[in-house]
Structure 1
């Protein structure tokens, strides 16, 4: 097991860090409100970062998702890469890959995922002719999507054009351009063989755990910078033992999210069973991630309660990711069932 990035992965991560750092500034994010930043998305696509995911694999995506999370950049990068590009590349037919991958690489095709937080049957049913009916209460980045990847009640995967769906705007805790998906006889395109659902769900859990690792790292970096210059009783806050211990705990939690996401992504790329590892990464991201963003806000003192402060955005993203990945008890129950069965997926 080797977590050292390849030359290609390191180059892609460095490029992503520069673009996100230059363009996902506090001022631009504030101006975007609850929507996405189309200029940032164009810059990422012009730099070839969506296409790079195909070459660098899921571990490469986790590294890039960290950079997105570090700046809480409001673009559908992680979602479209995992539900669109990686899904089509691994599970699509030759014809689907030839038709869909060019747009996914260029960023002109954006895929959102109407996936539940837990591994259970969805609320969408399939009728004869591949027509889909049902609703999904909220789908992240749906308002930015050209297509939606939808699992039905049998866990078959269908790709549906967003223009054929009903999309009602929904505001979440985090500004993810979400929407309520309404399917009223929309025709879907089957993607993957039976069993592909589990692989896509696992990959999504791993990718969004990587996103959470970046969110937490960004929150902690802001807290460290603030406590190093803010003085209390003539001393920097960072010199107080209680502050140091709180920051140290947050650092260890962040590293736990990162390393479990890296391990799960590495196993996925190597074609090894990774369902247990994906659940482990998701649990750490949901549980520890919530602790870290709370700590980041708390270490800012009264300033952390300011809704306009940059650290508050990390708090919102961390809370939303915890909800999206599923509560800790649900994830542990699912992991326990998987371990009890003793059958790797």
Structure 2
């Protein structure tokens, strides 16, 4: 296997890095508060970055999200690409792809997904008639929902349904979360929806499993960027800050803590890369997605805590840029699920595969 990015993937990531570095500054993020950065989203869309993932694949998206995470850019890039662009491209009907992909790739449509940490929400499809149905149920927290036009919702039977947030029977209520992701509560009362893809495969993951794995991998890539950006701030701080007449980074305890954080960050990155590469290559990626999610949740939490600690008293300042990385790292870990939950799911998946092979 070879995770080396292609020329196209490197070019897209390089452009994303320039845009995020120029536009997603601490001052701008402070001014935004909890709002999504619509101006930055427009710039990304005009540069063709959301649409580029149709060519560069999930690994290309992971590289883009690394750059977004470095600056904690408040844009729905992960949600729109994982639950919109890639989901529709892989599982939509020809009519859905022709109708939805142009607006998803140029940023005119913002998408998100009501997937939680892995188990389908308590949403049921009623009055189903072929590709359409009406949905009833509640999803307590959906990231980026208040700025989304389209939401992908799995029902209790793991079928995927597309709903417009402005459709009758759809109620969106803002919800505060750890990270400022324009999240909302989704209440559905006989809301019209259209099926994405075929009915679930009783012997395979089907569209639900693929989209869930894709989202986990994408958010692991985002966590790799969050951790890398946080660690870069810690390196700069400990090099500049002096204690007992010498820089903080001259102390062995500081070096060891930073080195552990670096190793954790690299583990998140490489597992996300491998899982994305396997998905793009058409190989089984479900266990690898869970592995990447576990590293992102467990190691990601360790990294942002370590970096906050390495900043000393400044790490407790809610207005300091490093605190934003802390919030994002914690939010991503919560959205991916606890380490114990992910390991349990991975163990069950491996056990099931072993029984089938036997």
- Same-fold call, TM cutoff 0.5: yes
TM score, norm. by length of structure 2: 0.95
Aligned length: 343
CA deviations 1:276-323 (Å, max 9, x no partner) are 000000000000000000011000000000000000000000000000
What's the offset of the Cα at 1:144?
1.0
Q: Secondary structure at the match of 1:247?
A: helix
Instruction: Give me the whole-angstrom Cα distance separating, in 2, the residues matched to 1:308 and 1:234.
Output: 28
Q: Is the 8 A contact 2:116 2:142 kept in 1?
A: no
Q: What are the within-5 Å matches in structure 2 for residues 184-263 of structure 1?
A: 184-193=189-198, 194=200, 195-263=206-274
Give SS of 2:180's match. Answer: coil
The runs of at least 4 consecutive aligned structure 1 residues that moved more than 3 Å come to: none
Helix, strand or coil: the match of 1:185? strand
The equivalent residue for 1:301 is: 312
Contact 1:132 1:183 (C-alpha < 8 Å) held by counterparts: yes
SS at match of 1:188: strand
Q: CA deviation at 1:192?
A: 1.1
Note the C-alpha offset of 1:342: 1.4
Question: Mapping of 1:121-200 within 5 angstroms?
Answer: 121-129=120-128, 130-164=133-167, 165-193=170-198, 194=200, 195-200=206-211
What does residue 6 of structure 1 align with? 6
Structure 1: segments with no counterpart, 5+ residues: none
C-alpha displacement at 1:122, in angstroms?
Answer: 1.9
Normalised by the size of structure 1, how large is the TM-score?
0.98
The alignment partner of 1:149 has SS state of strand
1:25 matches 2:25: yes
SS of the residue aligned with 1:257?
helix
The aligned counterpart of 2:284 is: 273
The residue that corresponds to 1:99 in the other structure is: 99
Map Cα deviations across residues 130-160 of structure 1 (whole Å, 9 max, x no partner): 0000000000000110010000000000000
Would the aligned equivalents of 1:122 and 1:155 in 2 still touch at CA under 8 Å?
no
Corresponding residue number in structure 2 for 1:111: 111
Structure 1 distance, partners of 2:267, 2:41, is 29
CA RMSD of aligned residues (A): 0.8
Q: Is the 8 A contact 1:117 1:324 kept in 2?
A: yes
Describe the SS at the equivalent of 1:271. coil
Q: Which runs of 5+ in 2 are unaligned?
A: 201-205
